[in-house]
Structure 1
C-alpha cells in the first residue's frame, strides 16, 4: 500500500457514486455526506471500484455511527475514554430500520452557516511562503467570514509580508523571537476576537471551517475545540507512512467530549491529552487564556520540539475545563513529503512530548507523566517494532529509530533545573507577558 502514489478520493455518499474505475490503482477514500465527513479507508486496486451496494453499506455503517454520536437522547456528544474513543457502542439499528437515515443525514449535513465574526483566525508561519499562500486562499474563501485573520510571521526578517499583501483581509504581524509557542502567544495578544482559532501554514481549510467552529462554541459549554485533520495528498512514501502506518493526525469522525473525568481516568498513566487533536486545527475562548495562562514557550517547534498544544489541554482539563473534539471542523494537512523530513519531524515530536510530560509533572506533581516517560513509551517502542516486523510495515523501522532518538533527547529536560522552574506566561489584557 505504500509503494506507489495513493490518490486521495473524496466520495459523496449522498450521490451513491464515486469516480474510481476498474483497473484503477489503490486509493485512499474519504467519505462524506455532502459537507459532513463520515469516514475514510485505504483500498487495494482489486477492491475498486466500489459498487452501489457497497456504497450503501458504507452509508449505513458510517451514518448510523454519526447519528448515534450526535443523538441528544444518547447524551451526545459522547465522553471520550482512556484511548480517546467513545464510551458506548455507536449503533442505531432502529434508525437503519426506520428508513429515515437519509433524512437524518441530510439534516445534519445541510445546517445553515453560523456567523463567525467573533472568531479571530491566527496562522503562525516561518519561511514557507508557497504553503502559506495556499492556506490564506482557503481562509479568505470561508463561507462564514472570520472577524479577523492574523498572520504571525515568525521568520527573522518578516519574509511573509509580501504574501500577506496579496490578501487585503489579512493582518501581518512580525514576531522575530523564534518558537511556535512564542508566535501563538503573539497571535493571542494581537487578535481581538472572543474565540481564537489556530491553524498552520501547511494546511488548507474546508470552506465551512469557521462556521463549524462558531457553531460548536454556540451550542456547547466548552472552552476549547479540536477538529478533524485529513491528508491533503498521499503522493510520496513519507506521506503514506505517516498516514497509513502511523495513523496521521487521528481517524475519529464522531464528536467527543474530553473533560475532568477523562483526565482523572488517564491521569495515572500520564493523561492522554494528545488524543484530543492536533494544533493544526484548534480553537479557544479568550477567557481560557485569562484563566490558565498562555502557551508554554519552552515547548513547541523552535524550542523543545512540539506538544505545546497538548500541554495546554492538560492544564485545561486539570483545572476542570472541557474540550470538544468536533470533526465537522475540517482541515487538510500537507504531510512531510520526504523521508528525511518525516524522520526529523518524528524525532521532534517525541522530544517535545517528553519535554511536555516533564513540564506537566513539575506543574501538577502527577507521577503518571513519569510513568509515561519510563514505562509506557519504552513499551510502545517495543510493540511498534514487533508490529512492524509482523505486519511488514516497511516504513516503521526508520521512523521508530527517530522516535527513540527523540525520546532520548527529551530526557535532558529532567536534568535542567532552570528550565524546569519556568512556567507558561500569564495573560494580560495590555499584551505584556
Structure 2
C-alpha cells in the first residue's frame, strides 16, 4: 500500500528549522532546505524510517553541501570557505554558520526588487480556465511583475480562456486555431513585445523572485536561454512519487553554464540536452529566434508528444550560444496524480524523445543520436526489464508505456521527416 510523502520547506536561516520535523503518521518526508529565498537541497526520508539526531544532521549536510560549496567558491573572501561553514553547522554553532552564509549569499539577495521588469510571460493553454485564472492571479500578485503577459489559447473549443484573460487588465489574449504546444509557443513569440520571454505553464506555482531572476540573468549579453529549478508541489500518490524519483524536473541547486562544446560529438556523443532543464520553467532572449528559428512544430503536445524545448536548446548551442541553468529561478510543478495519467505522459515523453533525437541527428550527422536510440536505449531497457521482472513495481511500472512511446516516436519521425519544422521568422 502506498504511503504519501509530506513536503516540508525548512528555512535554515531560522534556528528551529535545524531540528528534524516530526514525521507524520504512516507518511514519508520530503524536506527542502532553504536559506531565506535560496534553495540549497532536498532529502527523502522513507515512511517508517527513524533517523537519530546525528544521522539527520549528516544527511542534511550531505543534501546542501554541493550548493553551499558552489556559493562559497564564488565568494573566496568568506572566512574559512565551505569547510569552515560545514564545521560550524556540524557543531551546532548556528549563529556563526548563519552569519557566514549571509556573507556568501548576500550578492544573490541584496538587490531590492523593482515593481516590474521588461519581460513577456507567455502562457500556452487549452481548456483549463480555472488553472489559468489561478496562474494569472499569481503572476499579477508577484512583488516583481512582468511588463506583459501573453495568453495563447490553443485550438479552443469554447470561449472560457478568452473570458478568463479578459478579467485581468493588461493581459494580451491571442487565439491560435492550429493545435500543438509548439505551434502555440511560436504564436506567443510573435505576439510578445519585450526582449526577454519567459514561458510559464498554467499549472505551476512560481517563486516570488522568479521574474526578477529571469530578467537579471539576461543582463549578461552572452545568455541566450535560461532554465530554472522545478520543485514538486505534491507527493500524495504513487504516480507523483515515481515521477519525482525517476523523471524529476529538478536539475539541482548549483548554477550551470551550457556552452557550444556541450553538443560537440567529440565532447559527448548524443549530448543529453534534455538534462538542461524543463519546459515548465524556461526563458529566452527573443532575438535568438530570429537566428535559429522557432520551435519545431513536429514536436511536443499535439504532434510527436514532447522535447520541443530540448531540441530548441540543442539548436541554440549548435549556433554557438550559451544556455544557463539558474537554481534561483524557481517554479513548483504538480505532477500527474494517477498511474494511468503518468503512463500516458511517459509514452508522450519517449515518443517525443525518439523523434527529437532523430531530428537532432539530421542537424548534425556526427551527433551519435542514432546509435543512442538504436543501441544504448535498448540496452538500458533490457536491464530495466530484467531487474523489474516479474513484479514490475515502482520504476518498472511504466516501462511498457515508455517502450511503446519510443517505437511510436521513430515511426512518427520517418512519417514527418520531410515536413517543414516551421518557416523561419
Using the TM superposition, give the Cα deviation of residue 415 of structure 1 relative to its aligned residue in structure 2, in angstroms: 3.0
Match of 1:87 in 2: none
Displacement, 1:126? Answer: 1.2
Distance 1:169 1:410, change over 3 A: same
Question: Compared with structure 1, are the counterparts of its residues 20 and 152 closer, same or farther at alpha carbon in structure 2 (3 Å cutoff)?
Answer: same
Q: Report the counterpart of residue 196 of structure 2 in structure 1.
A: 195
Residue by residue over 1:107-148, the C-alpha shift from the partner in whole angstroms, topping out at 9 and shown as x without a partner, is 156332454522100010111222222222221122211110
Residue 50 of structure 1: CA displacement? 8.1
Quote the Cα distance in structure 1 between the aligned partners of 2:35 and 2:387: 34
- Partner residue of 2:378? 378
Tell me the residue number matched to 1:424.
422
1:269 paired to 2:259: no
CA distance in structure 2 between the aligned counterparts of 1:23 and 1:292, rounded to whole angstroms? 50
Q: Which runs of 4+ in 1 moved over 6 A?
A: none
What is the distance in 1 between the residues matched to 2:239 and 2:380?
21
Measure, in 1, the Cα distance between the counterparts of 2:388 and 2:82.
36
Q: Is the 8 A contact 2:6 2:24 kept in 1?
A: no
Report what 1:297 is aligned to. 297
RMSD over aligned Cα atoms: 2.8
Which residue number corresponds to residue 393 of structure 2?
A: 394
Residue 368 of structure 1: aligned partner: 368
The 1-side partners of 2:266 and 2:142 are apart by 37
Aligned to 1:164: 165
Are 1:92 and 2:69 matched, yes or no? Answer: no
Cα deviation for residue 426 of structure 1 reads 1.1
Deviations 1:138-181 (A, max 9, x none): 21122211110111111323431222233224222111110000
Q: TM-score, normalised by structure 1?
A: 0.86
User: How far apart, in 1, do the equivalents of 2:419 and 2:363 lie?
Assistant: 9
Deviates more, 1:61-70 or 1:407-416: 61-70
2: distance between equivalents of 1:355 and 1:375? 16
Return the alpha-carbon distance in structure 2 between the equivalents of residues 171 and 249 of structure 1: 29
User: Contact 2:251 / 2:275 at 8 angstroms: preserved in 1?
Assistant: no
Partner of 2:207: 206
The match for 1:173 is 174
CA–CA distance in structure 1, aligned partners of residues 52 and 284 of structure 2 = 40
Q: CA deviation at 1:21?
A: 2.1
Per the alignment, do residues 319 and 387 of structure 1 end up closer, same or farther by CA in structure 2, a change over 3 Å counting? farther
**8 A Cα contact 2:228 2:277, kept in partner:** yes
TM-score by length of 2: 0.87
- For structure 1, the residue ranges without an aligned partner over 5 or more in a row are 75-90, 428-433
- Equivalent in the alignment of 2:93: none
Provide the C-alpha distance between the structure 1 equivalents of 2:365 and 2:146, rounded to a whole number of angstroms: 39
Tell me, in whole angstroms, the C-alpha distance in 1 between the residues paired with 2:106 and 2:358.
46
Alignment length (residue pairs): 407
- Structure 2 gaps, min length 5: 89-95
CA distance in 2 between partners of 1:347 and 1:203 (Å): 22
1:63-212, aligned counterparts within 5 Å? 65-69=67-71, 71-72=73-74, 92-94=82-84, 96=86, 101-108=100-107, 110-115=109-114, 116-157=116-157, 158-212=159-213
Alpha-carbon distance between aligned partners in 1 of 2:357 and 2:29, rounded to the nearest angstrom: 37
Could you tell me how far apart the structure 2 residues matched to 1:385 and 1:135 are? Answer: 40
